[in-house]
Amino acid sequence: MVRSETLESWLSTTEVRFTTVLNAVECTFEIELIEGLFKGNITVGIADKARKLDNEQPIVIHDSTADGVVTSNESGVIKLRRSVITICLERTVMFHIDNEAAGVCAERTFDFTPRRTGADELEITCGAGKFGFKVVWSLMDFRL
């Protein structure tokens, strides 16, 4: 069940929505442009094991319109708006890339299955860019 709380200050009002996640792991990710160009957006979401994306969950983690176009001759690591999410072990993490660089329009969707600990890496090509995804899994322990 998603809960909501409104936080008010002198200058603004912010709504915070949250829920309790059982059997959760922390998913920390980094995306690198290995070669080519990237102009587009990247979203991350949570899906069930049948890979049906929950429409309320996708989060834009990079948008070239606001965050800037990335080229492989820079540091390579794409600056993300968010690089950590919490996920239940019975779900999957879904990434979606739209890349419109160099006049080539392409999109890719792929997933990672959570583990209690460890890391996963994946290289994919999408349009005019080759990307490296690194995901690190950490078990969340609330017994402290």
How far is CA 28 from its chain centroid? 9
Positions of E strands within 9-128: 13-18, 24-38, 40-47, 59-63, 70-71, 84-88, 92-99, 106-112, 118-126
Q: Is residue 89 part of a domain?
A: yes
Q: What is residue 103's predicted lDDT score, i.e. its pLDDT?
A: 84
Can you give the residue range of the structural domain that contains 76?
Answer: 24-139
Residue 103 lies in a domain: yes
Q: Is residue 16 part of a domain?
A: no
CATH number at residue 128: 2.60.40
Tally of domains in the chain: 1
Q: Is residue 122 part of a domain?
A: yes
pLDDT for res 52: 66
Q: Which residues pair with 134 in a beta bridge?
A: 30, 121
pLDDT reading at 88 higher than 80 = yes
7, part of any domain: no
Residue 125's φ and ψ, nearest 5 degrees, are: -110, 135
Q: pLDDT of 32-84, one tens digit each?
A: 999 988 999 999 998 887 766 665 568 999 998 888 777 665 678 898 989 99
Query: Between residues 22 and 143, which one has the greater pLDDT?
Result: 22
Return the pLDDT at 54.
60
* Residue 75 belongs to a domain: yes
106 assigned to some structural domain: yes
Looking only at Cα atoms, what is the longest distance across the chain?
52
Residue 18 lies in a domain: no
Please state the pTM of the whole predicted model: 0.82
